[in-house]
Structure 1
């Protein structure tokens, strides 16, 4: 399988088992459900396999309907909704053991000249070379790497702000977070693979912004969380193996749900991808206290 980046590429390399039907591998993990970024990335690969290569993805909208089971393959069924002169639309259902666990709609756009361009500036932050890797930072404090960190191994992730390790350190912290990230090796030149790698990565840290005011990101969790839906807009070409700044914030948390939005900038300060996600948050029951919710 090679290094973690090779494993990520292998994970995104679906098997075609019929016209418009693909099968994706789901790694065996000790965690209770399949990582949402994996399912979204695989579904986008399935959609892209049915689209002409000159039409890059420009947006996706997805719902996580049921938790996926680690170690069980996921079948992706692609519906060719539209093949227009400029836009191509695909709908993908992820099915596991006969049940739909995921639904995605993706749109692809034939590149064309824009009559105007604008964007808000990227925030001023330290450069990634001046920051420790998340693996080093977490490992130096905890003395071990939590199981779910294995999902991040294909990526070099570096937090812009220092990590907080206690509730006292969270006093006055705003619901904002930022990381630099890139794959830990080259990905080749297929734009679809880069888009799917960033789709995978976009689900790793986005809900951090929701949690920051209430609990440290690492260590014992007091809240169980799960992604409910996910949307992305791809504005410009980019490479996932070059540094990208992922700026994240949570404008609201209410009703056991937290909303997070993210922006990915390249090193030139260009906004290349925008992301929105809503997550479900429920307090984890203390031993002996009975079920929650």
Structure 2
């Protein structure tokens, strides 16, 4: 899956040691070829919900699609639907359909299958690089650099030491702290416990893959970004409500991504997330992944099911 190099300059990161190869490349996104356009993927990290992580399925599906196109075309958009619960006890089969191969654009459809039924479907569009005089982008938010921001585990430890933390949150934070997630996260301007009572549906965090991926394969960096983009994304819609409600069920319905510029997923990127709307037991979230040099690399959008119970309710639904 070779392609032009991802950018080395302007992102301000030193490379992780090359011998610490990212598990996202060596394991999570390393698919087994079974037949032409047919692949098998296994699981590395399963959330506490015991469902397959949506980012893993998206990343693996994009790997399968990328293997069916030529080296000179690169993904520019990805549109996905999650149609059934993923079973973490069995592998996932990825079936690729070469929907269209054109001079400038090519489309690939991917179906992820378990137990003989599709659990996920997506379409990925690839484009040959083309110059354009029409260019613009939003400005990257001004935030502290990742070197000045505490890591996720440090932040969790700070919350756990607070004597006013409710027991249900203490249990949830301990579960998060125990997970071995193959990405690093640093939340920008994390709220205190008192501020959690009146939060807006917005959050920003620095994120990167753990370990070394390297500069050579922009297609793989896009697949890793698909994995990263689903982590903590839908939860943005819960931020104004989590003190009043307990989540019973939360799962992604769809996820779309647009890739704008080359980037390194093993370098720090700022993930800017916001939820413009929630209702009807659904929440909508939008996100932007920024390179450290201010270049907008990826735009994301997702809708998911969110069902809650008012805190203190004894409902068993």
Q: TM-score, normalised to structure 2's length? A: 0.83
Cα separation, 1, equivalents of 2:45 and 2:29: 16
Q: Please list every run of 5 or more consecutive structure 1 residues that lacks an aligned counterpart in the other structure.
A: none
Say if 2:285 and 2:303, in contact at 8 Å, map to a contact too: yes
Matched, 1:182 2:196: no
Say if 1:250 and 1:259, in contact at 8 Å, map to a contact too: yes
Shift of 1:21: 0.6
1:21-66: CA deviation from partner (whole Å, max 9, x where unpaired): 1000024746421000000000000000101121111000000101
Equivalent position to 1:25, from 42, 51, 76: 42
Matched, 1:41 2:59: yes
Cα separation, 1, equivalents of 2:178 and 2:61: 21
Equivalent position to 1:94, from 105, 112, 115: 112
Q: TM-score, normalised to structure 1's length? A: 0.90
**RMSD after superposition:** 2.4
Shift of 1:4: 8.5
1:113-156: CA deviation from partner (whole Å, max 9, x where unpaired): 01221111111111111000012211343378644567663222
Deviates more, 1:142-151 or 1:274-283: 142-151
Shift of 1:107: 0.4
Match of residue 297 from structure 2:
272
Cα separation, 2, equivalents of 1:276 and 1:154: 22
1:208-246: CA deviation from partner (whole Å, max 9, x where unpaired): 320110116xxx953421011000000011110111111
Equivalent residues in 2 for 1:99-110 (5 A)? 99-110=117-128
Match of residue 202 from structure 1:
229
- Structure possessing the higher relative contact order (Cα contacts under 8 Å, 6 or more residues apart): 2
Shift of 1:291: 4.0
Say if 2:236 and 2:273, in contact at 8 Å, map to a contact too: yes
Matched, 1:53 2:71: yes
Matched, 1:211 2:238: yes
Cα separation, 1, equivalents of 2:45 and 2:256: 27
Cα separation, 2, equivalents of 1:148 and 1:128: 21
1:70–1:209: structure 2 CA closer, same or farther, 3 Å change rule? same
Match of residue 161 from structure 1:
189
